[in-house]
Amino acid sequence: MSTPDQIPPQAAPWLSIVGIGEDGLAGLGDEAKAAIAAAELVFGGTRHLELADAVIRGERHGWLSPFERSVDAVLSVRGRPVVVLASGDPFFYGVGVTLSRRIARAEMRVFPAPSSFSLAASRMGWALQDTLCLSLHGRPIDLIRPHLHPGSRILALTSDSDGPAALAALLAESGFGASTLTVLEALGGARDRLSSHRAETFALTDADMLNVCAVEVAAGSAARVLAYTPGLDDGLFEHDGQITKREVRALTLSALAPKRGELLWDVGAGSGSIGIEWMLADPSLRAIAIEGNTERAARIRRNANNFGVPGLSVVEGVAPAALAGLAPPDAVFIGGGGSEAGVMEAAIGGLKAGGRLVANAVTTEMEAVLLAHHARLGGALTRIDIARASSVGQMTGWRPAMPVTQWSWVKPAKQIEE
């Protein structure tokens, strides 16, 4: 795929990206309207082309499927006067972001209109800087789950007329049924409508295809609130006992030290808790859960959806064979199966230079593997002993959990060079 860096920019801008709202031409400035009128080719959705109909003089081209075909069509007429019509702000979850990956900014002019989030915040009287703006358009609705905290305000752009009801159902089943969900439809246009509902009694059946949902989050006593810190309650996860317990998980995430945009391999993922909490740390983070048990793999997928990280990739297979061909990770966690032949070597070999490997052992066999690798490669060994208070007859005493030996190691750059 071509990128702006691979194509020498034209001497002058040839592409105009024009954001247009539901008010059509009335909301555009003279310069934007002049650009549309002067364009030899105008690309946009059917609705966009209809809104700008009165000033379009050139050829009209509706979006193709898949959308990449339309990007290719725009590039094929590079250098001619072209306009791309977009909804609202083209660089806020918009077409401008996609086009800028292949067209240098020096080749384009952009005329943004207010985004649907800006319009919705204005109608609600909400401070936009204090409001979470989330696009659920063409994306899993589960993405909203990590943001459901009492008192939060969320603006969510949905995909279609069914989006508000689906969002209300998610809120209700997660213990946030008392939340107020305001549906803002076709903002700024002739079909503009606003209605507020309690999530658990939501009954709107004729929502416009174009809508933003404003959620004022209220939590019930059993609401599924996901804390911001690592080491979430074990009870939040569906598991069969194969789970890194919360205290050990918190220490493990600390050792893995996630950084923006990084990829984790979670080898022997069990319930998927490590990969899930890794992804919860920042939306840019990615993880691959490797699990050989089919039932557990299905459970990981359910957990990922319920924690709002549906992008967690699950590979059904047994390491080391299952690691072959995976994208190189920035970090690796080995919580199960690490004592099997070749697993540690495959994980170390796949890890990027400067990447972190963290492995936990509860068996003597796995501990021997970690001690051997520590003796050969260095790194840090940590012994984790945890005891929990429990009843001893009519008294209370400490019951120790199985101790965990943790080896953490950073792969030096020279090993890649060799």
CATH hierarchy code of domain 117-216: 3.30.950.10
Q: How confident is the model at residue 8 (pLDDT cuts 50, 70, 90)?
A: low
Domain 15-113 is classified in which CATH homologous superfamily?
A: Tetrapyrrole methylase, N-terminal domain (3.40.1010.10)
Q: If DSSP codes are grouped into helix, strand and coil, which group holds residue 369?
A: helix
* Interatomic CA distance for residues 391 and 381, integer angstroms: 33
Instruction: For 39-101, give the secondary structure using H, E and C.
Output: CCEEEECHHHHHHCHHHCCCEEEECCCCHHHHHHHHHHCCCCCEEEEEECCCCCCCHHHHHHC
Looking at residue 339, what is its pLDDT? Answer: 78
pLDDT tens sequence across 239-257: 998 899 999 999 999 999 9
Q: What's the whole-number mean pLDDT along residues 322-335?
A: 96
Q: If DSSP codes are grouped into helix, strand and coil, which group holds residue 267?
A: strand
Helix pair angle (273-280, 294-306), 10° resolution: 20
Residues of the chain with CATH 3.40.50.150: 234-417
- CATH number 3.40.50.150 is the correct assignment for the domain at 234-417: yes
Looking at residue 1, what is its pLDDT? Answer: 45
Per-residue pLDDT for 25 more than 90?
yes
Residues of the chain with CATH 3.40.1010.10: 15-113
Looking at residue 10, what is its pLDDT? Answer: 55
Per-residue pLDDT for 268 more than 60?
yes
Per-residue pLDDT for 311 more than 70?
yes
Looking at residue 198, what is its pLDDT? Answer: 98
Among 404, 344, 335, smallest CA distance to 376 is for: 344
Burial-class residue 101 by CB neighbours within 10 Å (0-12, 13-18, 19+).
exposed
Per-residue pLDDT for 182 more than 90?
yes
Amino acid (one-letter) located at 150: P
Looking at residue 2, what is its pLDDT? Answer: 47
pTM, to two decimals: 0.89
Q: If DSSP codes are grouped into helix, strand and coil, which group holds residue 26?
A: helix
Looking at residue 7, what is its pLDDT? Answer: 53
Percent of the chain with pLDDT over 70: 96
Per-residue pLDDT for 415 more than 70?
no
Q: How confident is the model at residue 417 (pLDDT cuts 50, 70, 90)?
A: very low
pLDDT tens sequence across 40-88: 999 999 999 999 999 999 999 999 999 999 999 999 999 999 999 999 9
Q: How confident is the model at residue 418 (pLDDT cuts 50, 70, 90)?
A: very low
Per-residue pLDDT for 416 more than 80?
no
Average pLDDT taken over every residue of the chain: 94
